[in-house]
Amino acid sequence: MSMDYKQLAPSIFLKNGIAMKWFDSKDEVSRNPVELALNFANYGADAILIFDLSNGDEEHEHNLNVIKTICRKVDIPVFGAGNVKRLEDIKKLLYAGCRMACLNYSKEGNRALTEEVGKRFGRSHIGICAKNVSELESSKNDIKNYVDTIILVDENATQECCDWVKLNCSQNANPISVDVLPLFKSKSLHEEAAVLRGFAVHGISGGALNTNFKDYMDFKRQCKSLGVPMNTFDSSIEWEEFKLNSDGMVPVIVQDYKTDEVLMLAYMNQEAFRKTISTGIMHYWSRSRDQLWQKGETSGHFQYVKSLTADCDKDTILARVLQIGAACHTGNRSCFFNTMMKKEYDSTNPLKVFENEYKVIRDRKEHPKPGSYTNYLLDKGIDKILKKVGEECTEIIIAAKNPNPEELKYEIADWLYHAMVLMVEKGVTWEDITKEIAQR
């Protein structure tokens, strides 16, 4: 996880599906932790640290489902911690979508797991939560060999812990260093900036980060001005390099960053451009109102920047964004919905085919249709579905021995259909699958 900038990793303390203020606090932060996590991600957090504070198996499963939903919704790494007692608990957090799962080093049994989980899942996926150096000292070699990050849960031990890591890990033969990420209870952004400047930490978590998410980008830029490397939006092309139109503006084509759908066309002047770069939220210049406007300021349909790209002549910008709600003022997702003419053509997109087929299967589950083979499988249950998936796997192997690939294509398509029925039955989406593949 080591990189050349400091991370902001706000934390969520999850109890019975509710985000609490701290480990032992009874004060609620949010009853919608998924929305809270999205706010963290959209406003500039680099990662999210989630502690599962559940009591009992039922609450534990509920919290894991919340963590899974968060991992599915956000595009930044999620680190999972809390309620880890055995290798299986690490696996559950990683399978839920967490980039890294953390062992609680206050529990001796967790320290003994370090080598096992490090070898099983890979060092880059393993972190530890520690209070002081004495907890680290007892497992020095395991930390050097199998741990990526130390989440320091006692902010008062920051200096001591950083010194210990420097002394014991900086000469590590493994090229991946051990990073320190302190967790604060109530520090202000000003105090957190001082920690980033004064200590050899990889980033910070907790404190004001948990509530002041709209200030992330300003905070990062302030830190950067003080010489602290931060992950900010910076354009490699200056405004002066653009070829402006007669109004002194540049047209901006806006596209959904995941689906590639073209959403709208708007215009930027220098002020809108700089505001977009500094905040990470799309700003434009309204020609009709002759004023700056932040997309979504009144409607809530914000556009969070994923990338900005100039065309070959530097007279147009392509903005790829995360669109909240509708892009068009009419309520349509895209402004481009008035079809003028259309020639019939094959618009087959492999991922769209899978997504559409998946939606049909899911609709059958939610709205059964008499005589449907899909409903027959779903009604028979998991054992029948698994039997068919296994049979189709065998058919693929047999077909692969045939020199003619036509039969193989048919059998693979048949297997994929049955696999999607299994996915719907178990609540696994194509987004889950593609995200898992992308992270490998």
Q: Is residue 2 situated within a structural domain?
A: no
Cα–Cα distances (Å) from 422 to 244, 377, 382, 383, 410, in that order, read 53, 9, 8, 10, 19
Q: Is residue 335 situated within a structural domain?
A: no
Give the domain CATH number at 280.
Answer: 3.10.20.810
Residue finishing a domain among 305, 323, 341: 323
Residue finishing a domain among 181, 199, 225: 225
138 and 51, same structural domain?
yes
298 and 209, same structural domain?
no
176 and 86, same structural domain?
yes
245 and 219, same structural domain?
no
pLDDT tens digits in sequence order for the chain, 440 residues long = 445 899 999 999 999 999 999 999 999 999 999 999 999 999 999 999 999 999 999 999 999 999 999 999 999 999 999 999 899 999 999 999 999 999 999 998 999 999 999 999 999 999 999 999 999 998 999 999 999 999 999 999 999 999 999 998 876 555 568 999 999 999 999 999 999 999 999 999 999 999 999 999 999 999 999 999 999 999 999 999 999 999 999 999 999 998 899 999 999 999 999 999 999 999 999 999 999 999 999 999 999 999 999 999 999 999 999 999 999 999 999 999 999 988 877 667 777 889 889 999 999 999 999 999 999 999 999 999 999 999 999 999 999 998 888 899 999 999 999 999 999 999 999 988 888 887 76
Strands (DSSP E) along 148-281, which ranges?
A: 149-152, 179-184, 203-206, 250-256, 262-268
pTM of whole model > 0.75?
yes
Cα–Cα distances (Å) from 124 to 70, 127, 153, in that order, read 20, 8, 20
390 and 309, same structural domain?
no
- Do the beta carbons of residue 198 and residue 6 sit within 8 Å? no
Q: Is residue 342 situated within a structural domain?
A: no
Place of tokens 């019975």: 16
Q: Is residue 417 situated within a structural domain?
A: yes
Give the domain CATH number at 88.
Answer: 3.20.20.70
- Do the beta carbons of residue 345 and residue 272 sit within 8 Å? no
Cα–Cα distances (Å) from 406 to 123, 357, 397, 409, in that order, read 43, 21, 14, 5
- Do the beta carbons of residue 157 and residue 133 sit within 8 Å? yes
Residue finishing a domain among 181, 202, 225: 225
Closest CA to 104 of 121, 88, 80: 80
286 and 172, same structural domain?
no
Domain around 100: 7-225
175 and 55, same structural domain?
yes
Give the total number of structural domains in the chain. 3
Strands (DSSP E) along 98-249, which ranges?
A: 100-104, 126-130, 149-152, 179-184, 203-206
209 and 245, same structural domain?
no
Q: Is residue 152 situated within a structural domain?
A: yes
Q: Is residue 364 situated within a structural domain?
A: yes
How many angstroms from the chain centroid is the CA of residue 154? 26
187 and 126, same structural domain?
yes
- Do the beta carbons of residue 84 and residue 101 sit within 8 Å? yes
415 and 312, same structural domain?
no
Q: Is residue 255 situated within a structural domain?
A: yes
96 and 120, same structural domain?
yes
Q: Is residue 341 situated within a structural domain?
A: no
* Beta bridge pairs of residue 150: 128, 180
User: Which element (helix H / strand E) includes 319?
Assistant: strand 317-323
Closest CA to 63 of 72, 79, 50: 50
DSSP 289-312: TTEEEETTTTTS--EEEEEEEE-T
162 and 112, same structural domain?
yes
